[in-house]
Structure 1
Amino acid sequence: MHEDVVASIKSDAMRPVQIIAVAMCVVINMLDGFDVLVMAFTAPEIAREWQLEPQSLGILFSSGLLGMALGSLFIAPLADRVGRRRIILLCLLIISLGMMASAFMNSVTSLVSTRIVTGLGIGGMLASITTITAEYSSDVRRGFSISLVQSGYPIGATIGGSIAAVLIVQYGWREVFMFGALCSALMIPLVYLLLPESLDYLTTRQPKSALASINDLLRKLGKDPLTSLPDRGEHLSVAPVPVLSLLAPKLARATVLLWLAFFMVMLSFYFVLSWTPTLLTEAGLNVEQGISGGVLVNIGGVIGGVFLGYFTARFAVTKLVALFMVMCAIAMIAFGLLQSGLSLMLIFGFVIGFFIFGSMIGLYAITPNIYATEIRNTGMGWAIGIGRIGAVVGPLIAGFLLDRGWSGADCFVVFAVPLIIAMFAVLSMKQSE
């Protein structure tokens, strides 16, 4: 019964409730884009005010990413037990409090602590918004919908970066965190009112009032109501979802390769996003222009993400993602070796953003297809969490290299290598499926 309902939803044209679910996830990810990159936007001013060395900035960049890794590994899997929507609401509250507290910090140590808290919230809900998007999208539109949601990240970063540039010049860096806290808090009632719980979760986990919730969703989807709950299987009601299930014989190879790809892409991804505004400022741009360079990376990401999403319905997503990875590596090597003028640097920033965001978004599109409903959020959460470990390491490595006299251009060449490794992981994963 459950399989028939879900299959009909996947094969039919998307209804308004499905479109609203995807749209809400886009907006949430826009907020994430701003919240994650707020440190990159404010770093030049914080470094000037607190007289910080590059290695200290690397620690600040990585602190939020550490929180995201922990949130992805330990908060996100709870959604498979208590519901995607509840976890998203809890995480929005955590983000709001963390951002608000960050605005009042006066030392590296205290700001690191509040960035970790904020990261816990962001990491905890990213898997849920991707899972809800995959579960509410039709088969034809799934790849595009996931790409659209993940494109919300650079859209939010682009809009947020533009706002941050104005706020920093007019008021100071603390107001940027205040703005982020306000936006996060405003999303809580909107999510409560507009974002539906996952139908797959309701039918498999069957929480209290599940039948009423399912039938309300079926009515909005234009389907006949159920008279009783479908059989969920005894194993779903007795134990939490084991993480080791991701490494079961049929999944182990795909899981390990997926983790490797996420780790390597996020290693390079967060180097680019975290350090680009600061490196451009050190290359001769003022703070506002440096932020604009970071915004250009994200504009490229928006276009790259939509481009990839459009073509996932026409080409194998693994081949597209591998192509994006190798093209991004080439662009990063060219950026480092050419060492051209500032105008060309900005153009390369756009191109790098196009391909690196497409690479990341492609991994998000691949993941839900690997795992069944009852472990989907766990699978997504652990893939993101392993990736976030790479995200923590990337900015730290960059800070270490810069402290020892490496140039920003040299770092771009070094961080192209993980993308080549990720490309081979994705192609190998395709062969193992």
Structure 2
Amino acid sequence: MNITERIGAARMSGYQWLIVALCTFMNCLDGFDVMAVAFTGPSVTEEFGLNGSQFGLLVSVGLIGMALGSMLLAPFADLIGRRPLILISLTLGTIGMFGAAMAPSVTVMGFFRLLTGIGVGGILASTNVIASEFSNAKNRGLAIGIYTAGYGIGATVASVVAKATVGGDWRIVFYAGGFGTLLALVVIALLLPESIAFLEQRRPRGALENINRTLARMGMDSVSQTDLDQAASVREGTRQTSSGWLKQLLTPTILLWITFITIMFGFYFVNSWTPTLLVEEGLSESAAVTAGMAISIGGTVGSVLYGVAARVRTPRVVLIGFSLLSAAMMIVFILSTSILWLGFGIGVLVGALINGCIAGAYTVGPPLYPANIRSVGMGWALGMGRIGAILSPTIAGMLKDAGASATQLYVGAAVVVAICAVVLIALRRHDPESAPAVKEPATA
């Protein structure tokens, strides 16, 4: 076995869980970043005199940056290493958050939102891979679930900071994000190792020593130069048989792209527009932030709940259930917000379910691809998913300016999320993990 296969078969060590925790911490930055804009939306809109379309564009600029970061920065991880790219991305994110906090106009703020998004995109493209690479096969789903929960944690922190500043200076939220990203930069520089898979495949100077140092911390036996040479020979032989993979897997690839697009559409609609829409519906800014906080709180546990459920049923089937329940609860939520305690409770469910859908997409995608092209397949899926993330706030802003109510916007977003379930049903015959359930009556 190569080193990656050895890690997959071995027991998870405390050091590996530390790496997952570090990746989760960095994913918190995504949650804080998106919700910093959402929770300060009413104040930012008032200070800069924005209409719905302009605010939606401000939200989308950050998401466009994430897409650019994922697609343009991520390839450099295979050239310079995952760890250096993460450090560069954290630097960009730090500059972007502090820049947005000091922006004198919406144009300047938009530029720094773009820069922040590029940094976050570069971080997410690398940390998702690292969390998977350092996890064994048994706990990979749980590790990804914990990693995904970082978004909800970061969003909850953003909501707490925003709630504390209601009626005060909204820029404090972005300053807090800047200091948090700067802290992450220091912690990661001190604690995060380079990816073993990168070292094994690219073999830069000192690769063998770095690999064995990390393996020792994981409680695993060291490897020799001969082991690396043999693994390289196997990879080269496998690479020769992988040409034309996109043509062979075109249908499941397109279905997976649609799955990511629909889930991210609903996810970013809920997380970016909720406070602003609730203020428009007559709630106080404090109450709207409280409702948004409920969604964030639910998000901290939703992905872990998905991971637990996926141990019982096929991950794809669990994701169908999560997407349908998410759509239903989104509608119930917007109809119940006039009763604050009820809206808070339903909001927790919405956050848990929609965040669980993100974890589900991360889990369902990889088995569709052979191991030697899995990163390529998932990388494109994540990039395509950002289309939904970018379109969601922009379309919502345009419809709002055209007279759509908060209820109508939420129902529309719920329909998009429900489409995901239909796509996942079509994905059944392409999903290796669904094979044992083929003879069951139409459950999915």
CA distance in 1, matches of 2:372, 2:335: 47
CA distance in 2, matches of 1:319, 1:33: 26
CA distance in 2, matches of 1:101, 1:222: 43
Calculate percent identity across the aligned residue pairs.
38
Match of residue 400 from structure 2 = 402
Query: How far off is 1:278 after superposition?
Result: 0.8
Match of residue 300 from structure 2 = 302
Aligned partner of 2:186: which letter?
P
Q: Residue deviations 1:106-154, cap 9 Å, x none?
A: 2222211111111011111212111111111111111011011101101
- CA 1:268 to 1:383, structure 2 compared with 1: closer, same or farther past 3 Å? same
Match of residue 438 from structure 2 = none
Residue 57, structure 1, aligned to residue 66, structure 2: no
* Aligned-partner SS, 1:226: coil
Residue 422, structure 1, aligned to residue 415, structure 2: no
Which residue, out of 8, 16, 20, partners 1:10?
A: 8
- CA 1:367 to 1:205, structure 2 compared with 1: closer, same or farther past 3 Å? farther
TM-score by length of 2: 0.89
Match of residue 166 from structure 1 = 164
Query: How far off is 1:339 after superposition?
Result: 7.5
Match of residue 391 from structure 2 = 393
CA distance in 2, matches of 1:227, 1:281: 62
Q: 2:337·2:344 contact (CA, 8 Å) conserved in 1?
A: no
Q: 1:201·1:373 contact (CA, 8 Å) conserved in 2?
A: no
* Aligned-partner SS, 1:415: helix
**Contiguous gaps of at least 5 residues in structure 1:** none
Residue 179, structure 1, aligned to residue 147, structure 2: no
Query: How far off is 1:251 after superposition?
Result: 3.2
Q: 2:287·2:340 contact (CA, 8 Å) conserved in 1?
A: no
Match of residue 319 from structure 2 = 321
- CA 1:378 to 1:84, structure 2 compared with 1: closer, same or farther past 3 Å? farther
Aligned partner of 1:210: which letter?
A
Q: Residue deviations 1:334-356, cap 9 Å, x none?
A: 34567854443333322221211
Which residue, out of 133, 136, 149, partners 2:134?
A: 136
- CA 1:137 to 1:272, structure 2 compared with 1: closer, same or farther past 3 Å? same
Aligned partner of 2:137: which letter?
D
Query: How far off is 1:313 after superposition?
Result: 2.3
Which residue, out of 201, 206, 216, partners 2:198?
A: 201
CA distance in 2, matches of 1:424, 1:210: 46
Query: How far off is 1:163 after superposition?
Result: 1.5
Query: How far off is 1:82 after superposition?
Result: 2.6
Query: How far off is 1:255 after superposition?
Result: 2.0
CA distance in 1, matches of 2:175, 2:371: 37
Query: How far off is 1:297 after superposition?
Result: 0.5
Q: 2:133·2:197 contact (CA, 8 Å) conserved in 1?
A: yes
Q: 2:336·2:342 contact (CA, 8 Å) conserved in 1?
A: no
- CA 1:155 to 1:424, structure 2 compared with 1: closer, same or farther past 3 Å? same
CA distance in 1, matches of 2:200, 2:368: 20
Q: Residue deviations 1:158-207, cap 9 Å, x none?
A: 1221022213544x011211111111011112112211222222112222
CA distance in 1, matches of 2:244, 2:55: 35
Match of residue 214 from structure 2 = 217
Match of residue 34 from structure 1 = 32
CA distance in 1, matches of 2:337, 2:16: 47
CA distance in 2, matches of 1:406, 1:211: 60
* Aligned-partner SS, 2:365: helix
Query: How far off is 1:227 after superposition?
Result: 2.2
Q: 2:34·2:271 contact (CA, 8 Å) conserved in 1?
A: no
Relative contact order, CA 8 A, sep 6+: which one is greater?
1
* Aligned-partner SS, 2:313: coil
CA distance in 1, matches of 2:107, 2:79: 34
Match of residue 86 from structure 2 = 88
Which residue, out of 102, 105, 116, partners 2:103?
A: 105
Match of residue 45 from structure 2 = 47
Q: Residue deviations 1:19-61, cap 9 Å, x none?
A: 1110101111112210122110111111122222111111111
Q: 1:20·1:194 contact (CA, 8 Å) conserved in 2?
A: no
Aligned partner of 2:229: which letter?
P
Q: Cα RMSD (Å) of the superposition?
A: 2.3
Q: 2:166·2:285 contact (CA, 8 Å) conserved in 1?
A: no
- CA 1:91 to 1:368, structure 2 compared with 1: closer, same or farther past 3 Å? farther
CA distance in 2, matches of 1:57, 1:146: 32
Q: 2:23·2:131 contact (CA, 8 Å) conserved in 1?
A: yes
Which residue, out of 261, 264, 278, partners 1:263?
A: 261
TM-score by length of 1: 0.92
Equivalent residue pairs, number? 425
Q: 1:271·1:394 contact (CA, 8 Å) conserved in 2?
A: yes
- CA 1:332 to 1:114, structure 2 compared with 1: closer, same or farther past 3 Å? same
Residue 253, structure 1, aligned to residue 217, structure 2: no
Which residue, out of 322, 329, 332, partners 1:331?
A: 329
- CA 1:90 to 1:368, structure 2 compared with 1: closer, same or farther past 3 Å? farther
* Aligned-partner SS, 1:249: helix
Q: 1:158·1:295 contact (CA, 8 Å) conserved in 2?
A: yes
The answer to which of 14-23 and 341-350 deviates more is 341-350
Match of residue 347 from structure 2 = 349
Aligned partner of 1:162: which letter?
V
Query: How far off is 1:371 after superposition?
Result: 4.4
CA distance in 1, matches of 2:373, 2:188: 23
Query: How far off is 1:236 after superposition?
Result: 7.9
CA distance in 2, matches of 1:246, 1:281: 52
- CA 1:144 to 1:160, structure 2 compared with 1: closer, same or farther past 3 Å? same
The answer to which of 76-85 and 314-323 deviates more is 76-85
Q: Residue deviations 1:290-322, cap 9 Å, x none?
A: 112111011112222221112222221111111
